[in-house]
Amino acid sequence: MSNYHIKHLEEYYQVYRKSVREPENFWEEVAEEHFMWQKKWDNVLSWDFSKPEVKWFEGAKLNITENCIDRHLATRGDKTAIIFEPNNPDDPSEHITYNQLHERVNKFANVLKAEGIKKGDRVCIYLPMIPELAISVLACARIGAIHSVVFAGFSATALSTRINDSDCKMVITSDGSYRGEKSIDLKGIVDDALEDCPSVKTVLVAKRIHSNIDMKAGRDKWLQPLLDNASAVCKAEIMDAEDPLFILYTSGSTGKPKGMVHTIAGYMVYTAYTFKNVFQYRDGDIYWCTADIGWITGHSYIVYGPLANGATTVMFEGVPHYPDFGRFWKVIEKHKVTQFYTAPTAIRALAKQGTELVDTYNLSSLKVLGSVGEPINEEAWHWYNDNIGKKNSPIVDTWWQTETGGIMISPIPFVTPTKPTYATLPFPGIQPALMDETGKELKGNQVEGRLCIKFPWPSMARTIWGDHERYRETYFSAFENKYFTGDGALRDEVGYYRITGRVDDVIIVSGHNLGTAPIEDAINEHPAVAESAIVGFPHDIKGYALYGFVILKDTGESRVHDNLRKEINQIIAEHIGPIAKLDKIQFTSGLPKTRSGKIMRRILRKIACKDISNLGDTSTLLNPEVVQEIIDNALE
Ligand code: WTA
């Protein structure tokens, strides 16, 4: 029996039990059956969460691009690997076959080599959702370079921080990008970022918007002429299982972003295996994930997972509301999409528009719907189920993280009965634990606590680039011998999991993780600001939005508040990106603090959420009087 494609609930439980009883045999079977290895492993797993050190398939040799491309050529060379759907619906979409993808990745890989990129070098990719993004990711993997994709909505400061953190030698970008009606000067952002990035020797520039940009002599090169002259043959570099594949930055609750490092073999096995099962992908299906490749969802479930399965994956350059709110449905109809994977924030924004537009499109190709990035509320779940799935397409509410590499808790469609707002059951190989605050595991059902994972899985991040101690401290120190996710969860009477949200200082806004500290640091750069604190409050569409409490240096200045609000958001946009802008900014004379000087965010959170009935004991605060002032001036 192959455990690769689970078909009914009983089989799920069987497979799951086996994965817990004999994890090594279980993963060995998956790895044996479905991938192309240059050499098989000597050891399936070694691990020690106290260090932490985790190694999967040690001793194996492979190249992930041979698994994602080369091995499909004999049987499906002319099958479409990537459908590129451009921002403007009047422009033609592009179908890239596996043969063509092979050629384009090889050429790109040869360009990287010719520009001096070698195995182990870091390459920063700052591109919009155009084919070059997927191709450059794969080209890096082909030659063993480590890609670090930075979402092209991040600002110059955020980009340079990420480039410098991992000493990238090269940046791959484009002249600009389209976003609905707007175009964005990406190259200008790169130029600003690179004023401060000594490690970068070369910038490769793809043409997208044909704008007039400055090309810095000796550093910047147009990509296309280099590709035109490159050979279409590039032998895949033979890599070790545990060599790094990529770095992807995610916000932490404190300090600079964390460069999560994923390694090749385990990541490949797990993303391929979960893709196949979570989306019940069959040959001929057209799969579409609306994420950006700048996030982990795009890495694992636009590029690697689908391609490792020889699937057809859609890359969408545009936005859900351009040219109107029917765009997603139009794309589904046009390409006869069978699996559609998006975020609750998009569902809520589209639901707000009603069903008039939805009903003008034929969505009958759909078989499975997915949700990712934040908890999906009941209303959005039903809207998605009723109007998009027509109650015929199961919704997979997939819980996972940048750190986990792949989907951890999710229904398997047509196998696991779904339940609104529940991510349901752990994937085979995943052993969740709910912990109470004293560090005790809560056994049995109908319990709620902090979500941990107590056994390694193949695609877990191995470290934080350049800071292993921070990796240990962040994820393995809160609960002994367990990976701590930072999320809270409950387990219902049948063992289904529901994720209740973050329990740390990360706020998820429109599905993007935002740490409070970096935003506060940005605000505090404003010359008029003395101190600030950010909390989240519920928002109809974004899930959560940001509420800032700001102490000004000179509170006498009343004239400037609205201007100051704009300036503060401008600084945030420059330091992090527009996604981190605050919805509400309240100026205050003080912030509630403990006697040791720590801001009591719990109180601020409650005030921002208009939940002031139970603020707890505030008398032990250093400055209890400030609480009433903040309540009195709280913003609507
Ligand atoms: C949240 C995205 C509830 C969670 C793949 C997690 C979710 C964080 C879900 C990771 C879900 C993601 N239900 N919450 N289905 N999926 N989250 O690193 O708080 O961008 O810790 O990875 O998003 O976000 P990240």
Residues 606-624: tens digit of each pLDDT: 999 999 888 877 877 889 8
Q: DSSP readout, 314-376?
A: EEE-S-TTSSSTTHHHHHHHHHT-SEEEE-HHHHHHHHTT-STTGGGS--TT--EEEEESSPP
Q: Residue 405's closest CA among 447, 365, 456, 480?
A: 456
| CA 513 to centroid of ligand 1, rounded, Å | 8
Give the chain's mean pLDDT.
95
Task: List pLDDT tens digits, range 466-486.
Answer: 999 999 999 999 999 999 999
Counting every residue written for the chain, the total comes to: 636
Residues 6 or more apart in contact with residue 586 via CB below 8 angstroms: 547, 548, 549, 550, 630, 633, 634, 635
Question: What's the pLDDT at 251?
Answer: 85
Nearest residue (by CA) to ligand 1, atom 4, is 374
| CA 401 to centroid of ligand 1, rounded, Å | 5
Nearest residue (by CA) to ligand 1, atom 11, is 399
Percent of the chain with pLDDT over 70: 98
Residue 300 has pLDDT above 70, yes or no: yes
Residue 531 to residues 517, 519, 528, 547, 573, Cα–Cα distance (Å): 12, 12, 9, 14, 18
**Candidate from 508, 509, 510 with most ligand 1 atoms within 8 A of CB, to mutate:** 508
Residue 636 has pLDDT above 90, yes or no: no
Atom of ligand 1 nearest to the CA of 499: 3
Q: Residue 444: is it exposed, middle or buried by C-beta count within 10 angstroms (0-12/13-18/19+)?
A: exposed
Q: Strand 312-316 to strand 286-289: parallel, antiparallel, or no bridges (unpaired)?
A: parallel
All structural domains of the chain with their residue ranges:
9-489, 510-633
Atom of ligand 1 nearest to the CA of 512: 20
Tokens of 234: 């590039």
Percent of the chain with pLDDT over 90: 90
Residues 6 or more apart in contact with residue 623 via CB below 8 angstroms: 590, 592, 593
How far apart (Å, rounded) are the C-alpha atoms in residues 297 and 185? 25
Question: What's the pLDDT at 555?
Answer: 55
What is the rounded average pLDDT of the residues 441-465? Answer: 98
- Complex ipTM value: 1.00
Residue 286 to residues 93, 209, 221, 312, 327, Cα–Cα distance (Å): 14, 28, 35, 5, 17
What's the start-to-end Cα distance of the chain, in Å?
59
**Candidate from 372, 395, 403 with most ligand 1 atoms within 8 A of CB, to mutate:** 372
Residues 6 or more apart in contact with residue 404 via CB below 8 angstroms: 453, 457, 459, 460, 461, 485
- Does 91 or 556 have the greater pLDDT score? 91
Q: DSSP readout, 206-228?
A: E-SS-------TTTEEEHHHHHH
Choose which CATH entry (3.40.50.12780, 3.40.50.1980, 3.20.20.80, 1.10.3720.10) describes domain 9-489: 3.40.50.12780
Question: What's the pLDDT at 597?
Answer: 77
Least confident of 43-47, 413-417, 439-443, 555-559: 555-559
Question: What's the pLDDT at 210?
Answer: 96
| CA 403 to centroid of ligand 1, rounded, Å | 10
Question: What's the pLDDT at 620?
Answer: 78
Question: What backbone phi and psi angles, to 5 degrees, belong to 410?
Answer: -170, 150
How far apart (Å, rounded) are the C-alpha atoms in residues 261 and 403? 8
Task: List pLDDT tens digits, range 114-148.
Answer: 999 999 999 999 999 999 999 999 999 999 999 99
What is the rounded average pLDDT of the residues 333-337? Answer: 98
Question: What's the pLDDT at 559?
Answer: 55
Residue 98 to residues 44, 284, 286, 305, 313, Cα–Cα distance (Å): 31, 14, 14, 15, 11
Question: What backbone phi and psi angles, to 5 degrees, belong to 435?
Answer: -120, 145
How far apart (Å, rounded) are the C-alpha atoms in residues 366 and 603? 45
What is the rounded average pLDDT of the residues 199-215? Answer: 97
Q: Strand 529-539 to strand 543-552: parallel, antiparallel, or no bridges (unpaired)?
A: antiparallel
Which CATH superfamily is 510-633 part of?
A: ANL, C-terminal domain (3.30.300.30)
3-state secondary structure 400-417: CCHHHCCCCECCCCCCCC
What is the rounded average pLDDT of the residues 266-275? Answer: 98
Least confident of 252-261, 398-407, 429-438: 252-261
Atom of ligand 1 nearest to the CA of 486: 21
Is the distance from the beta carbon of residue 398 to the nearest atom of ligand 1 less than 6 Å?
A: yes
**Fold match between domain 9-489 and domain 510-633:** no
How far apart (Å, rounded) are the C-alpha atoms in residues 575 and 64? 35
C-alpha of 90 from chain center = 29
Is the distance from the beta carbon of residue 410 to the nearest atom of ligand 1 less than 6 Å?
A: no
Residue 1 has pLDDT above 50, yes or no: no
